Amino acid sequence: MTTFNWEEIAQKETPQIFKDFYSPLIPAEVTLEENLEDAKCDTAFFDFHTNRTSISKKFLERLCLEGRLEPEIAFGGILKHEVGHYSYYPRECSTLMFFGHLAESNFKEYADGVLAYWCDLMNNLTQVLMKHKGKDVRAVYRGLARLMEQDKLSAVEQAVFKLLKIAPEEVQRTMRDYSVDKLLIAYYQRQGNEDLGVRLEKDGYLAQKFKEMMSINYLTKEDEIVNFIQFGNIVADILKQRDAKLPKLKIKVRYGGSGEDGELWKILRRFIKPIFEDAPELKDFPKDKLEEGLNDIIRKWGKSRYERIKDYVERKTGKEFDKPRGTSRGQSHSQQAGTEEGIQLQFHDGQIPYYERLAGTYGVSIFKKPLMVDVTDNYPEGKKEFTIGDPIRTLDPFSTGGIILPGITKRHQLKAGKRKDRLYKVPDAWLRLDTSGSMKHPTKGSLAVLCSSILANGYWHNGASIGVDNFSVDMATLFPTRDLNAVYSLLCAYWGGGTWLNINKIKKHLQKLAATPEDARQLDIIYTTEDDYKKYAASLPPEEQKEFMEKNLEVKMTRQLKETYDKIDNILITDGWLANPEEVIDHFNSVAQLTRNFVFITGSPKNYERWKKLNLPNTEVYPADKKEDFIGLTLGIIDSLAPPDNKPVSLFYQ
């Protein structure tokens, strides 16, 4: 039986408290339970699934009766502390991920304890420093300090220790002299400039740790990682010293320390655990929040750090993220094409989830262009009797003088037919990705692969198909497809040889694309090597062999081929060190009247400036040296279109 009417107090105080925490995502409601022994903890906690706070009435009663707090103050302080975990710290799931993995690598068995106390400190400090709004939180810690002073071993507990030949007074003294909670309350006492009832011995162990605490400016966001390590060293040392003086037991317990099953473990845990024990954990967050957290991490940190953090999150939550997968085409990646020098295309499908997630955190705006497309229209073909339920638009009003007469009025029979029309749409994209030896390997965090992935995502979400040419000395080609996983598979593949973009083969592929119906297009990767060129040339008439081998193939622009070029955005991603730059630029110039060209130069500001100065018609050149270059990316706005007779000269290296 509770002493106070907590439901009435909650109904009265909650709306006032939530004025300080305005957030439409948090319902101004509190769940009150007699006790929370079967929940996350037995005091209070914020549920990140429902965004609601649960509070134990039993805990509130103790704060009022033993901690000598007014019920409204006790309720308000606890609610502010719990909602503070959502509004102040850790606030973002990614914060818990990053500092959790940092704690694990630096503090080992004390990682959970360090992280829990850190979250409480950063949450409370924001509120403790508020003179008026933080008075309830300060009062709660005054009440908690009183509870700690009164929390002593009972006669039964002392008897258990004596039976195990452990001096109970030594255990009690250790818990008092090596208490992280006591240290933190002393810190709040100083920062809030209000007596919370904590006294540290001038020459005691905690007094020295208090001096170390005071030397850290916790509100300096730029030094947050350094502050965390310094704070963690303080907390881990306290827990280590405490454990060294406690009975040597077998099983490690949460927040550091050791214990074993049975009565002794129950007694020790009551003293070892944090007084609130409400700090949020990753397993408290729903899957969508964890996904958002990983998105934040992958944008902020490098590939290696992200993969370590993801591994930490998976171990803490028991959930799997970024599961590697093969291509949906069922293609065997043991299939590889090699050059005479032994260079082979290596697939790295295990990298797909990384680039897919990272690319998904960026957006790209793609302007539409007028394209010749097939449009389905209905046209009348004969008439038949109009019946109830037929679409009114099919009615022939002249059949019965505007009056609908059953069995007499006629309707048009409609038949679907296709016609050509020019509509504004996003074209398909053909990504030509340089994976020569000068390009960064996809397993090392390649900006070129990221750039290609962002573009593939952008076009795909606009309903377009994506083709890929992965080129080095050789080339692997995937014709435009809506199979995004197949696209990613080829984007994450790597040659590692020289840099030759075979324009002749590109022209042949476009001819093939124009001549192949959309529903019959090949989705498997086409491997193109120099041997392939020779075999193909041998099958040509003698007059065509010479121009093919000299790579001067002239393409006859039929209407169908022009429409095919018109429907494709030509995108080149390279560091600019091409072996045949003049040939590539000539090709860009020759198709500029039909195809929009986009060139992304990665890892070479010097080459970017060279390409930019070329003033290629209907072509945009972008830098791709850092991830920030992909923020606000917009494709399709061309400042000017050079007339065909003023085509720029293709002298790349002059």
User: What are residue 143's phi and psi, to 5 degrees?
Assistant: -65, -40
**Bridge partners, residue 369, by sequence:** 425
Q: Is the pLDDT of residue 336 over 60?
A: no
Residue 192 binned pLDDT confidence (cut-offs 50, 70, 90): very high
pLDDT at 579 over 90: no
pLDDT higher for 146 or 411? 146
Residue 642 is predicted with a pLDDT of: 45
Q: Are 64 and 42 in contact (CB under 8 A)?
A: no
Classified as helix, coil or strand, 566 is helix
Mean pLDDT of the 637-648 span? 48
CB of 274 closer than 8 Å to CB of 117: yes
Work out the average pLDDT over 121-126: 94
Residue that is written with structure tokens 């020295």 in the block: 208
Q: 71 or 256, which is more confident?
A: 71
Least-confidence region, from 163-172, 255-264, 441-450, 603-612: 255-264
Contact in structure between 87 and 76 (CB atoms under 8 Å): no
CA 44/CA 83 separation, integer angstroms: 11
Q: What is the DSSP string of 416-469?
A: EEEEEEEEEEPPEEEEEEE-STTSPPGGG--HHHHHHHHHHHHHHHTT--EEEE
pLDDT tens sequence across 476-494: 999 999 999 999 999 999 9
Tell me the average pLDDT across 338-360. 83
Residue 551, pLDDT above cutoff 70: no
Q: Which residue has the tokens 């090597």?
A: 529
User: Looking at residue 338, what is its pLDDT?
Assistant: 46
Q: What is the pLDDT of residue 440?
A: 94
pLDDT tens string 18-50: 887 877 788 888 999 987 766 778 899 999 999
When pLDDT is averaged across residues 362-366 and rounded to a whole number, the result is 93
Sheet holding 52-56, edge to edge: 30-33, 52-56, 44-47
Residue with more model confidence, 247 or 390: 390
Structure tokens at 135: 């008075």
Question: 543: which residues sit within 8 A by CB, 6+ positions away?
Answer: none
d(CA 431, CA 454): 11
Task: Provide CB contacts within 8 A for 336, sequence distance 6+.
Answer: 344, 345, 346, 347, 527
Which pLDDT value is given to residue 640?
42
The amino acid sitting at 567 is K
Cα 273 to Cα 259: distance, rounded to the nearest angstrom = 12
CB 612 within 8 A of CB 623: no
- Of 294 and 382, the one with more pLDDT: 294
Share of the chain above pLDDT 70, in %: 83
Angle between helices 57-65 and 135-150 (to 10 degrees): 80
Q: What is the pLDDT of residue 654?
A: 35
- Confidence band (pLDDT; 50, 70, 90) for 383? confident
Query: Which residue's entry shows tokens 């995108």?
Result: 571
* Mean pLDDT, rounded, for 356-373: 91
How do residues 247-304 score in pLDDT, each as one tens digit?
Answer: 665 444 555 554 444 556 566 666 677 888 888 999 999 999 999 999 999 999 989 9
pLDDT tens by residue, 167-182: 878 878 888 889 999 9
Average pLDDT for 541-566: 65
Q: How far apart are CA 365 and CA 637, in angstroms?
A: 10
What's the predicted TM-score (pTM) here? 0.80
pLDDT band at 159 (very low <50, low <70, confident <90, very high): confident
Determine whether 341 is exposed, middle or buried from the number of CB atoms within 10 Å of its CB (0-12, 13-18, 19+). Answer: exposed
Q: Report the phi/psi class of residue 451: left, alpha or beta, with left for phi > 0 and alpha for psi in -120 to 50.
A: alpha
Higher pLDDT, 240 or 524: 240
Weakest-pLDDT range from 327-331, 371-375, 489-493: 327-331
- pLDDT tens figures, 131-148: 988 999 999 999 999 998
**Of the candidate ranges 69-83, 96-110, 138-152, the one whose mean pLDDT is the lowest:** 138-152
Distances (CA, A) of 78 to 69, 90, 146, 404: 12, 17, 16, 74
Q: In which band, very low, low, confident or very high, does the pLDDT at 647 lie, cut at 50, 70 and 90?
A: very low
Percent of the chain with pLDDT over 90: 51
Chain mean pLDDT for the chain: 84
**Residue 611 scores a pLDDT above 80:** yes
Position 337 pLDDT exceeds 90: no
Is the distance from CB of 196 to CB of 275 less than 8 angstroms?
no
Q: What is the pLDDT of residue 648?
A: 47
Q: Determine which of 397-406, 589-598, 616-625 has the lowest per-residue pLDDT on average.
A: 397-406
pLDDT surpasses 90 at 443: yes
Residue 51's CB is within 10 A of a number of other CB atoms, namely: 14
Q: What is the pLDDT of residue 329?
A: 47
Q: Which two tokens stand for residue 323?
A: 């599961």
Query: What are the angstrom distances between the C-alpha of 299 and each of 89, 221, 387, 600?
Result: 20, 18, 61, 20
Specify the range with the lowest mean pLDDT, choosing from 88-92, 325-329, 405-409, 520-524: 325-329
Q: Where is mean pLDDT largest: 36-45, 231-240, 573-582, 631-640?
A: 231-240
